[in-house]
Amino acid sequence: MNNARPRRVVVAMSGGVDSSVTAALLREQGHEVIGISMQLWDHSDSAADENFGSCCSLDDLQDARRVAEQLDIPFYVVNFEEEFRRIVVEDFVDEYFRGRTPNPCVRCNQVVKFELLLAKARGLGADCLATGHYARIAREDGNYRLLKGVDPQKDQSYFLFALTPEQMASTLFPLGELTKQEVRRLAAHYGLRVAEKGESQEICFIPDDDYVRFLEEERGTGLLSGKIVDRRGNVLGTHDGIYRYTVGQRKGLGIAHAHPLYVVGVDAERCEVVVGAKDELLSRGVIAEHMNWIVPPHADPMGASCKIRYRHQPVPCVVRPLAGGGAEVLFGEPQRAVTPGQAVVLYDGDSVLGGGWITAGIE
C-alpha cells in the first residue's frame, strides 16, 4: 500500500519493540495513529505469569499503553479472549489429540489479527491496519504480493501465507524493509521504554512452554495411551498419550534399543506412536490441504521453493495443485521430519505463492 498521504492507521500493539517502533514510524510519517492491544488470554491464574514472556500478558498490555502515552496516540484494548479460545486454543488442542502438531501462530494471524482486528480497525474508521511483522506487501499490475522481510533472520512471511488480497490492500508492514538491529536503534532513537525489551515466546498461552501439562489441564490425563511400534507393527513399548509426541522427537520414548529411535509418525485411530531410525524421517514431499494461493497456480506442475516449518531453509520443489483445494509438493531432495499439522509455504524468490496445511509426507 502506498502510504505517502496521511491516513488513519490502527497499529496492533503488543507491548514489544516491533509494534512500538511501527507506531512511532507511522506517527513520524504524519499518519493519524491509533494503538490497539488485544486481550487474548487470562494469565491471572498462572503461577508462571510473573516470568512469562508472552505477547498478551498484563505487563505487556501496560507496556503498550505506556508507549501509546509516550507517542501521544489514542489507545484501546479489545477483548478477544472468547474468540481466541474458540478459534486458536481449541484448534490447538484438537490437533494434538488428532496426532498432529499445530501452528497456532498462523491461525492467530489468519483469523484473529487479519479478520477480527482488521474489522475493529475499520469500525474505527481506519484506512488500514499496521503490525510489526517482518514482511512486505507489494502491488504489481493491480495485484497484491506478499514478500519476505529483508532481514532473513526475522522474516515472518511464513506465518502470513493465508492473507487474502482484500486483507493485504488494508495492511501495512512498516518493518518489512528493516532489520531487527535497525528496529532496536530506532526504538532507542525515539526513546521508547521498550527499546531493550526481550523477544516474546512463540506460543503465548502456554506457561513455561509446557504444552503437555496445558493439554492435560484442558482434556485430562490418561487419554489416548497405547503402543509404541515400528513400521512393521512390532510392539516396542507403551506410551501415555499420543499428544506427547511429534514427528522427529527422540527424547522421552522410554525404549531401550540398539540404535537411536525417533518418532516417524502418530496414528491417532490406533493410538499408536510409530518409531524408526533417523533415515526413516526422510520424505520425498508432502500432501497439503486448504491451500491459499496468493499467486494463482498453474494447472500443470510448477517449480518453486518451500518451507515446511518456520525455521526451515527453503528448498527447491515442484508443486501440483490437487482437486478439492489441496496440493502435492515434491522436494528437490528428501527432507527430514515432515510434520502433519504444520504449514508448507511456497515461494518464488522473495514472493510468497501460497501455502496450506500438511496432512502427510510422501515416502
What residues are annotated to the active site? 108, 204
Please give the Cα distance from 95 to 101 (Å, whole number).
6
Q: Of 226, 137, 150, 227, which Cα lies nearest the Cα of 182?
A: 150
Question: 83-116 as b/e, with b when 16 or more CB fall inside 10 Å?
Answer: bbbebbbebbbebbbbbbbbbbbbbbbbbbbbeb
Contacts 24+ apart (CB under 8 A), 247-251: 247/101, 247/281, 247/337, 247/338, 247/339, 247/340, 248/281, 248/336, 248/337, 248/339
Please give the Cα distance from 14 to 60 (Å, whole number).
6
CB 36 within 8 A of CB 120: yes
What is the side-by-side order of every strand in the sheet holding 235-239?
A: 235-239, 226-229, 272-276, 262-267
Looking at residue 340, the DSSP 8-state letter turns out to be B
CB 1 within 8 A of CB 128: yes
| Grid cell in block for residue 293 | 494461493
Query: Side chain identity at 344, as an amino acid letter?
Result: V
Please give the Cα distance from 57 to 42 (Å, whole number).
8
Q: Which residues contact 250 (CB under 8 A, 6 or more apart)?
A: 260, 261, 262, 263
Residue 279: how many other CB atoms lie within 10 Å: 10
